Structure 1
Amino acid sequence: MRPWALLSAVLWSLVGVGWQRSSLFSKKGFVYGTVGHPVKIYVKLHQNSPVLICMDINRASKETVDPTYSWIGPNENTLTGNSRINITNTGKLVVKDFMESLSGLYTCTLSYKTIKAETQEETTIKKKYNFMIFVNPFAPGWKSVCINSSDCEDATNHNILQARDRIEEFFGRQAYILNHHFNKTIPAMHFVDHSFQVVRIDNCRPGFGKNEGLHSNCASCCVVCSPGTFSPDVDVTCQICVSVHVYGAKSCP
């Protein structure tokens, strides 16, 4: 969350979910895996994750014989369908009502068979896909600000600047009225045109921080503090604390 002085606002990077802008993201809201390194995904607090596909784009474009899927969540727990975890028969995963504690590594193993045309010999292939999911917060009241907007940050920034202009206009008119329509017993009010300014204050809520090195594709996002770090107040970064073993820690025990 990045408030401005004098005016309270909710500023965030993307509506609903922050995804990598790459071929891993499809127009249908699917995020495909990639072999060899994790795909980083940023989900808004209490929003659903995008649809995670246990397959890379190249494999998705080919015929896959007898596929099976196995999902493992944070702390290496095997994932099964429940009120928060939705796993389809085709290996698609959606995490509902995302919270800080749900952040972490999600791994899917895809197993399928290949058949040699000459000998009809079957071979089982296994591929592993890693998704690092981080929660990204917003403050109460964001829905009322972003009802008809596809980008909440643009909407709130526009509203803040519009409010600034109206406040400046108010002071300007007040100065004119007092100087021209009231008797001299009222103290004079002086206002310098365009002197009203809004100062940006960059901070995050407790348990969240910014880390350009770890989250280079979401450098301006306030992302949940990873295990080993914490953020007790409205600081911008998560501080190191080796005794912290959870996401979103607000203190160092």
Structure 2
Amino acid sequence: VMRAWVLLSAVLWYLTGVGWQRSSLLSKKGFIYGKPGHPVKIYVKLHQNSPVLICMDFVRSRKETVDPTYLWVGPNEKTLTGNNRMNITTTGKLIVIDFMEALSGLYTCTLSYKTVKAETQEETVVKKRYDFMIFVNPFAPGWRSACNASADCEDITNHNILQARDRIEEFFRSQAYIFYHHFNETLPAMHFVDHSFQVVRLDSCRPGFGKNEGLHSNCASCCVVCSPGTFSPDVDVTCQTCVSVHIYGAKSCPTPNRNQHCED
């Protein structure tokens, strides 16, 4: 009896949606609005532009806003003006150009506008803060062409893998038939056992990325850049803890300086 046990290693990336496309805060025009008091999580493909972030919530956008001003602050609390990777419009829209691991983090916008009391014509300045947590997943230019420009790369990948499985299974079945009918006098009888061929899914993420269903429940099946305090040195799917890491996408854990001493 010939048993065909073949392992197909497949990286099944999750491309459709990547978090922000499925967000209820995404408008028909592809804009993502802020949500007062709650950070909005967004997942951007590596080396792609971010979606358009609006320094305003959807309810406010449907009302008249008098003399609005916008102040965007990025990771490390740095003002985003004057940065050629940050495209900020006069109406408070932000697009991050050519997103990279180091650009991951908290993006905050403060909207200031005036309200006028009809009775006294008194002006009051109102300020609202909107937080956007932007993470990167490891897709880069070239992946889309491998999926024949499909909007659902995961579906195409799964289809191709299953098609390969069927063809390999048919190969073993035909080999057993050929050996049995044409070489039965010179070779021992061989048989292919149906359903003995298996395909096992093996997930992996590139170094500096991992999966975290707790922190990224709306993107649990995709690889996300490792947050500060964690790192991933290989193709594992888990970011390991490292307190000395202070950046996104770390691939190693720095060795503590031996000259440093702990203080009581």
TM-score by length of 2: 0.87
Q: Which residue of 2 aligns with 1:90?
A: 91
- How many equivalent pairs are there? 249
Distance in 1 separating the partners of 2:188 and 2:107: 66
Structure 1 segment 208-227 matched on structure 2, within 5 A? 208-227=209-228
Q: What 5-or-longer segments of structure 2 have no aligned partner? A: 1-5, 255-264
Matched, 1:145 2:168: no
Question: What residue is the counterpart of 1:80 in the other structure?
Answer: 81
Counterpart-to-counterpart distance in 1, 2:135 and 2:189? 54
Once residues 87 and 137 of structure 2 are traced to their aligned partners in structure 1, the CA distance between those partners, rounded to angstroms, is 21
Shift of 1:66: 0.7
- Superposition pairs of residues 1-253 of structure 1, within 5 angstroms: 5-14=7-16, 17-19=18-20, 21-80=22-81, 82-138=83-139, 142-182=143-183, 184-186=185-187, 188-253=189-254
Distance 2:82 2:19 in 1: 24
Give TM-score, length-normalised by structure 1. 0.90
CA distance in 2, matches of 1:247, 1:100: 6
What is the one-letter code of the residue matched to 1:11? W
CA root-mean-square deviation: 2.1
- Three-state SS of the structure 1 residue aligned to 2:200 is coil
Q: Aligned partners of 1:124, 1:63: CA distance in 2, in Å?
A: 14
Structure 1 portions without partners, runs of 5+ = none
- Work out the CA distance in 1 between the residues paired with 2:171 and 2:50: 43
Secondary structure of the structure 2 residue equivalent to 1:41:
strand
Deviating runs (4+, > 6 A) in structure 1?
Answer: none
Choose 1 or 2 for highest CA Rg. Answer: 2
Deviation, structure 1 residue 145: 2.8
The amino acid that maps onto 1:127 is K
Q: Which moved more, 1:46-55 or 1:187-196?
A: 187-196
